[in-house]
Structure 1
Amino acid sequence: MTMDSQGKRITRRRFLAGSAAAAAGGALRPRPGHAQPKEVLLAAVVALTGPNAAWGQRTWNGFQLACDLVNEQGGVKAAGGAKLRYVVADTESKPEVAGSQTEKVIQRGAAAITGTNQSAATIVATQIAEREGVPFVCATDVDPLITSRGFKYTFRTSPVVESYARDLLGHIRELGEKAGKPPRKLAILSENSIVGQSSVEGAQKVAKELGYEVVDASTYDAAKTQNFAAYITRYRSGGVEVLIGHNKPNDAILITRTMKELNFNPLAYGGILGGHVSTEYVNALGKDADHVLATTSWSADADIKGLKELAAKYRERFKEPLDSTAAGGFTALAVLWDALERAGGADRKKLRDAIAATSLRTGDRMYMQLRGARFLPSGENSLAGGIVYTIRDKEWLTVAPREYAKTQAVYPRPRWGA
């Protein structure tokens, strides 16, 4: 559970109330109007340090590369070729720091912001952006609270966490039925962040609808938990057939290693976003990551216009493969670039209205997430959808839905050592 300094549990409701109060301080001084700029300042408020740093760094990588590619193509043509200037602000993986950093980039004149790779931090950052009338595009954070507060300047391109849980559990159920061995007993193990708690709630709801028996639904303190043997031993003795969760990369690695050490062999094992879609996970585990299932809104094997070229440029610059988190950086910039061209410049109100009227297909202007973008009044993406993939030889291969599938998942998952 998430706890405050007095030892009280921080629920999603308590967090929202507290962050609203924190963001309700004096408004920033308005900036005077000025002539059409020769450049447009965009900001990424992301975690570069702390437990969410791996995700934040890759979103920042994708975002800055995308900006550079726009500039190489002549900048924002509707604004007289204005170049994109980008800055990054480190949240340190702390919601309160995300709030102060958001204020700072707004004071510097950012026309729009993306971030933060941590739902709790995004909840705070978007409250400040809303107060100041600055568009905020979120491509990777999935807690439903982000777009459920009636904000006009917050937009999310990805599905919410419950949707990802539905994709994963639905596909596992389908695999089991085809194999004549449908899974029944389910355990959910997630870290105790705001989105981790939401993943447990959403997965429990979906599991009930799909006919699973939820044997255990637990959250753990990601800052303190270094040993998962007690959980895995309980799941093995309780006959758990499916284990899923939302975990940070190091936690996902430790859980998988513990499963192998204790010879726990569920029919299926997978991640709801989180560490299972990270480069750290596949690099650390090698073959032990094979046949793990995971959900995201992008995959390297998807047939996306321009993907191969972008992936090559990304690898050349950052010396690692493009992953779903970095793809989120490209996606956020695609929305902003498209809106800047239609708004004719960096006026924040006009830019906000242009974002609200977005109609992008996957591949347009480097938009990498699947199915494209068209925003509802809430800021939610009406076209958002996830995929399920399996890991083989350090590669993510799409297995569902059928229109994107490149291979079939192995079910039951092979036993350790098989």
Structure 2
Amino acid sequence: MARPWFPVLVVSMLLFPVACSGSSNAPTGGTIRIGTLHPLTGSYAGDGRQLENGAELAVKAINDAGGIKALGGAKLALEPGDTQGKPDVGQSEAQRLTQAGAVALIGTYQSAVAQNVAAVAERGKVPFVMNVAAEDKILQQGLKYSFRVQPVGSKFAVQAADYLKALSATTQPKVTKIAYLHEQTNFGRNAYQAFKAQAEKNGFTVDPEISYDAATVSDLTTQITQVKASGAQVLAVTGYYRDGVLAAKAIASVQPQLQAVLGVADGAFDHAQFVTDVGSAANGFLNVNYGLNLKNQEAVTLQRNYQQAHNQPMRTEAGLAYDTVQVIAAAIEKAGSSDPAKIRDAIAQTALPPVTTGGPIKFDDKGENTGAVPVLQQGQSGKVTVVLPEEEAQVKPVFPVTPGQ
């Protein structure tokens, strides 16, 4: 999702109910509201706050640059909704925000939450742009008002199996068996199924499959002990941030004899904060996910600004939230209107260079971003860097590699 920097245009509108989708342009100097739907409390609050912070930085950048010029410098404002990571809460919050006048929605981190929000957006005829929500099925239902910036979930899984095939082509002994550890919702199950199908085409055996409840798990030692006993040479993992840290700590403790740990859209292994939280145990971990384009100076600047504003490393999901707001803001600028239906039509015509890898952001008739590219990242020498594909890579991959060494 590589791109030259594009000033983020985020908008908030005078409190016109979304039901009035035929409402006219926001007056000069007005405020245009975008509803955000992230888990700000509960088990996933750390990730939700990263997403919220990324969206806030986008709004600040646009407002500082003069706001929405097509609407006389109208300013953007975020209207936060706390999903708590629960589908029913996400649905009720989406309804509240649209009724309060949000002209567009972004979110949500969990696919199950995004599914419910998409239904609300469709009924209310309000555009919904997903920053993080991987499940394929969300956009396989003929939805008109929903779009996704990140790569679709199955794309991560297929690419992960192909990256592993390329990495292991010249190694001895050959990788033949992969264990798979995943959180137990549709996100984890679907990633596992897509990976398994592609991995078996590539000549690997995927066994055992081990799942857990990411919301309640407090230790993954038992699961990693099972991996060790299986004799698998590679462990593939799909989960969220908190449980990713637990997996790394359990691997350091149990020390299974692995040639690699490979994240498949894992929410932890490719983040700078993961290195901070896990220390040297993070070295060598691989992850196929979305990534920041750190060959782009503007993405580097965003990363630095995030650190300064929030006194913590920026995770890639914050970059996706930033890009998502950019998409909506650019659409408002293009439409010259705060009418949700007109914004939706402008989003469908988007061709926007992002701060994340790949690009440009451009949506097909299902609302999928055709420019989204999963990259392979690896923890090396205390930091996480892109190692594949070559055109995005900052350094070469190390494989095989004992996790934590």
TM-score normalised to structure 2 length: 0.90
Q: Are residues 311 and 232 of structure 1, via their aligned partners in 2, closer, same or farther at CA, if it must alter by over 3 Å? A: closer
Q: Are residues 193 and 278 of structure 1, via their aligned partners in 2, closer, same or farther at CA, if it must alter by over 3 Å? A: farther
Distance 1:349 1:29 in 2: 11
Q: Which residue of 2 aligns with 1:289?
A: 282
**Count of residue pairs brought into register by the alignment:** 386
Matched, 1:304 2:292: no
Distance 1:263 1:308 in 2: 35
Letter in 1 for 2:390: R
Q: Equivalent pairs: percent with the same residue?
A: 28
Distance 1:101 1:346 in 2: 21
Distance 1:309 1:261 in 2: 37
- TM-superposition CA deviations, 1:83-119 (whole Å, max 9, x none): 1011111001111000000001101100101001111
SS across alignment from 2:209: strand
Letter in 2 for 1:149: Q
Does structure 1 retain, via aligned residues, the 8 Å contact 2:22–2:341? no
Distance 1:201 1:116 in 2: 23
Matched, 1:381 2:374: no
SS across alignment from 1:245: strand
Does structure 1 retain, via aligned residues, the 8 Å contact 2:111–2:187? yes
Letter in 1 for 2:146: T
Q: Which residue of 1 aligns with 2:223?
A: 231
Q: Are residues 361 and 30 of structure 1, via their aligned partners in 2, closer, same or farther at CA, if it must alter by over 3 Å? A: closer
Does structure 2 retain, via aligned residues, the 8 Å contact 1:196–1:246? yes
Does structure 2 retain, via aligned residues, the 8 Å contact 1:115–1:137? yes
Distance 1:415 1:149 in 2: 40
Letter in 1 for 2:402: P
SS across alignment from 1:214: strand
1:29 offset after TM fit, Å? 5.4
Structure 2 unaligned regions, length at least 5 = 1-16
Q: Are residues 222 and 311 of structure 1, via their aligned partners in 2, closer, same or farther at CA, if it must alter by over 3 Å? A: closer
Does structure 2 retain, via aligned residues, the 8 Å contact 1:51–1:248? no
1:253 offset after TM fit, Å? 1.6
1:278 offset after TM fit, Å? 3.9
Q: Which residue of 1 aligns with 2:4?
A: none
1:178 offset after TM fit, Å? 2.8
Q: Are residues 108 and 211 of structure 1, via their aligned partners in 2, closer, same or farther at CA, if it must alter by over 3 Å? A: same
SS across alignment from 1:218: strand
Does structure 2 retain, via aligned residues, the 8 Å contact 1:60–1:326? yes
Alignment of 1:3-42 (within 5 A): 30=20, 33=23, 36-37=26-27, 38-42=30-34
Letter in 2 for 1:407: V
Alignment of 1:206-285 (within 5 A): 206-273=198-265, 274-285=267-278
1:192 offset after TM fit, Å? 1.1
Q: 2:36 aligns with which of 40, 44, 52?
A: 44
Does structure 2 retain, via aligned residues, the 8 Å contact 1:236–1:264? yes
Does structure 1 retain, via aligned residues, the 8 Å contact 2:51–2:317? yes
Structure 1 unaligned regions, length at least 5 = 1-26
Q: Are residues 368 and 299 of structure 1, via their aligned partners in 2, closer, same or farther at CA, if it must alter by over 3 Å? A: closer
Does structure 2 retain, via aligned residues, the 8 Å contact 1:40–1:346? yes
Distance 2:24 2:343 in 1: 16
1:369 offset after TM fit, Å? 4.3
